């Protein structure tokens, strides 16, 4: 624990931020650790651990949050078919997109689109990217773990998790 809280070198953090910025700029692309480590000028072995320590979640999960954020924005702001939303945000399979989208947001892409369009928004005065970022899913556990917990909760036979 104490080790987790140790200060990271600001120069390293700045380089890790460059890798995160690269994901942000093109979250539909593939981001293997090798590619990210190269941007940060770190070893592959070092990168994932350093990234998680700096930003609180591993790089592949950060990528998922950005893809889902982008997908929710496209569902909300455009009339693009779901298949196109999936392709545009980096998924090669509609099935995987739908499953992970539901795991993270609790709704299918179609349900999300209908619900969000019905809601009234008063965020026109806030620069778009900040609104979008504020709605980014807070994926602090692995998708598989979230799925497992949700399944358990819906089962009814188990005690509720502490709030």
Partner 1 sequence: MSQGVGVAGIYVRDQDEAVEFYVGKLGFKVHTDARNGDYRWLTVQHPDQEGFQLGLFRPQAPLVDEATSQALDGAVAKGAMPPLVLVVDDCRAAYEQYRSKGVEFTQEPTSRFGSVDASFRDPSGNGWKLIEAR
| Residue partners of 150: CB distance under 8 A and separation at least 6 | 103, 106
| Residue partners of 76: CB distance under 8 A and separation at least 6 | 113, 116, 117
Q: Which stretch binds partner 1 (CB under 8 A): 9-17, 41-49, 64-72, 152-160?
A: 9-17
Q: Are 161 and 153 within 8 A, CB to CB?
A: yes
Q: Which of 38, 39, 48, 54 binds partner 1 (CB under 8 A)?
A: 54
How far is the C-alpha of 27 from the C-alpha of 21, rounded, in Å?
10
Q: Are 147 and 64 within 8 A, CB to CB?
A: no
Confirm or reject binding of residue 117 to partner 1 (CB under 8 A). Answer: no
Q: Which residue bears the tokens 């989208």?
A: 101
Confirm or reject binding of residue 13 to partner 1 (CB under 8 A). Answer: yes
How far is the C-alpha of 48 from the C-alpha of 2, rounded, in Å?
19
Confirm or reject binding of residue 129 to partner 1 (CB under 8 A). Answer: yes
Q: Which of 32, 45, 130, 140 binds partner 1 (CB under 8 A)?
A: 130
Minimum CB separation from partner 1 for residue 132, in Å? 10
Q: Which of 1, 3, 4, 7 binds partner 1 (CB under 8 A)?
A: 7
CB of 23 or CB of 33, closer to partner 1:
23
The footprint of partner 1 (CB under 8 A) covers 7-8, 10-11, 13-14, 16-18, 20-21, 24-25, 54-55, 127-130
């Amino acid at each position: 624990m104490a080790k987790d809280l140790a200060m990271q070198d600001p120069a390293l953090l700045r380089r890790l931020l460059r890798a995160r910025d690269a994901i942000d700029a093109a979250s539909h692309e593939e981001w293997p650790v090798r590619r990210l480590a190269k941007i940060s000028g770190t070893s592959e072995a070092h990168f994932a651990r350093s990234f998680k320590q700096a930003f609180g979640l591993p790089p592949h999960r950060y990528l998922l949050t950005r893809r889902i954020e982008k997908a929710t924005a496209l569902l909300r702001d455009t009339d693009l078919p779901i298949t196109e939303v999936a392709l545009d945000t980096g998924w090669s399979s509609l099935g995987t997109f739908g499953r992970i989208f539901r795991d993270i947001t609790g709704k299918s892409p179609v349900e999300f689109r209908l619900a969000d369009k019905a809601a009234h928004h008063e965020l026109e005065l806030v620069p778009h990217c900040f609104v979008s970022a504020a709605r980014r899913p807070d994926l602090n556990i692995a998708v598989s773990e979230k799925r497992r917990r949700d399944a358990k909760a819906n089962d009814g036979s188990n005690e509720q998790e502490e709030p």
